[in-house]
A = this chain, B = another copy of it.
Amino acid sequence: MSFEERKKTRVTLVDVARQANVSRATASLVLRKSPLVGSETRMRVEQAMRDLGYVYNIGAARLRVERSQIIGAIVPNLTNPFFAELLSGIEEVIGATGKVVILANSGDQVERQEMLLRRMREHGVDGVILCPAARTESALSDQIADWGMPVVQVLRHISLGLDYVGVDYAAGMRQAVDYLASLGHEKIAFAVLGPIHSAYQERVDGFRDAMLSRNLDPRILIHFPTQLGEIANATHLLFDQATRPTAVICFNHIVALGLSAGLHDRGLTIGRDLSLVGFDDVADAEAIRPKLTSVATGPVAIGEMAARLLVERIGNPDLPPRRVVNDTTLHIRQSCGRPG
C-alpha cells in the first residue's frame, strides 16, 4: 500500500458518520458513550466503526479538550534496575487509567532534564512524574507552577510545593544501624556513591543521627566510584580508614553488589570478617551469596503511588501538596554477623 493510498484510506469520524447515516456529532457522542443517543443509532454507528476499522484520533480530540492522556516520567538513569522497577509501577497504574507514559532519561543532568520537560510540554502531557536530576534548583518548582503543570516528585525532592512520594531513608538508616549495633558493631561505615541530592542527604543525615543517638562515631563515610565494575576494585577504601570498620552500610544495591564481590576477591567472608547491609533490596539481594541483609525501599510500590497521586492531582489541580513517605523494611538475611 503506497503512502497516498494509506492517506486516502485513513478512516475518520466523518467516514463513520456517513456510513452510519448520522452526523459527525452523533458519531462523536457514540464514541464518548453518551446516554443521549438512541440505542438503535448507537448500534449502527458502532457497526460502522467496526466495518471501517475506525481508530480514534486522540491527538485531534486533545485540541478541543485539554487532556492529552499522556503523562511523562523522567528518571536519572534507566539502566539501574531500581528505576526500571519504579517505571514498571508507574506504567502499570497509568496504563490502567487508559493513559500512556512517555519515558525519558535525564542522565542526572539538569540541562537535559530542562530540555525533556520542554519537550513534554510541547507534547501537552497531562502531568509528569519527576525524579529530579542532582543539583536541580528548587526554582524549577516555581517554573512548574507557572506552567500550571501537575508534577509529582519521586524519590528525590526539590520543593515542598510539589507532591512527593519517597521513602523514609532516615528510618531505614536507623533500622540498619540499630540492627548492626544489636549485633555488637560499633565501627560502622557508610559506603556512598554518586551525586548529591535529597535522597543522598537524607541517608547521610539519617546515618549520622542514628549513629550519634547510640554514641557511635558517625564519621566513617566512604565514597566509591559510580561504576559497578570499579567498586569491587576500590574495596580497599574500606580498610584505608583511621578506624577499620566491622560493618558497612551500603548506599544502594550497586555498592552492595560491588563490595560483596570485592570482599570475596580479598578472601574475606561476608558476615564473619565484615558485615554488610544493603539498601534498595532489588532482586539481587536474594540472589547473591551470602544473601544480602538489606533495607527494602519497594520501588514498584513507590512508582504505583506516584502514579496514583499524579492522576489525582490532574483531576484536581487545587489540592494542597501532599507527601507520601513509605516505610522501609529491614530484610535480615545472611550478610551480617557479630564483629570479629
A120 to chain B minimum Cβ distance, whole angstroms, is 8
A147 to chain B minimum Cβ distance, whole angstroms, is 8
CA gap between A317 and B57 in the complex, in Å: 21
Q: Decide if the interface of chain A is mainly helix, strand, loop or mixed.
A: helix
CA gap between A317 and B6 in the complex, in Å: 11
Contact string against B for A residues 1-41, beta-carbon threshold 8 Å, 1 for contact and 0 otherwise: 11100110100000000000000000000000000000000
* Other-chain contact of A104, B68, B95, B265 (Cβ < 8 Å): B95
Partner-contacting stretch, out of A59-67, A191-199, A200-208, A211-219: A59-67
Chain B residues positioned under 8 Å from A55 (CB to CB):
118, 121-122
* Other-chain contact of A6, B148, B229, B232 (Cβ < 8 Å): B148
A22 to chain B minimum Cβ distance, whole angstroms, is 22
The answer to whether A264 and B289 touch across the interface, beta carbons within 8 angstroms, is yes
CA gap between A2 and B145 in the complex, in Å: 11
CA gap between A156 and B92 in the complex, in Å: 23
Chain B residues positioned under 8 Å from A284 (CB to CB):
257, 284, 287
Chain B residues positioned under 8 Å from A121 (CB to CB):
55
Partner-contacting stretch, out of A83-91, A162-170, A171-179, A237-245: A83-91
- Which of A9, A59, A80, A287 has the most chain B CB atoms inside 10 A of its CB? A287
What is the size category of the interface that chain A forms with chain B?
Answer: 35 or more
A101 at the interface (CB under 8 A from B): yes
Contact string against B for A residues 302-321, beta-carbon threshold 8 Å, 1 for contact and 0 otherwise: 00000000000000011000
The answer to whether A91 and B63 touch across the interface, beta carbons within 8 angstroms, is no
The answer to whether B123 and A70 touch across the interface, beta carbons within 8 angstroms, is yes
Contact string against B for A residues 143-156, beta-carbon threshold 8 Å, 1 for contact and 0 otherwise: 00110100000000
A260 at the interface (CB under 8 A from B): yes
The answer to whether residues A78 and B57 also contact, given A148-B6, A257-B287 and a CB cut-off of 8 A, is no
CA gap between A62 and B286 in the complex, in Å: 48
The answer to whether A119 and B105 touch across the interface, beta carbons within 8 angstroms, is no
The answer to whether A88 and B79 touch across the interface, beta carbons within 8 angstroms, is yes
A79 to chain B minimum Cβ distance, whole angstroms, is 5
The answer to whether A59 and B66 touch across the interface, beta carbons within 8 angstroms, is no
The answer to whether residues A63 and B66 also contact, given A88-B105, A258-B287, A287-B261 and a CB cut-off of 8 A, is no
* Other-chain contact of A60, B63, B103, B291 (Cβ < 8 Å): B63
A102 at the interface (CB under 8 A from B): yes
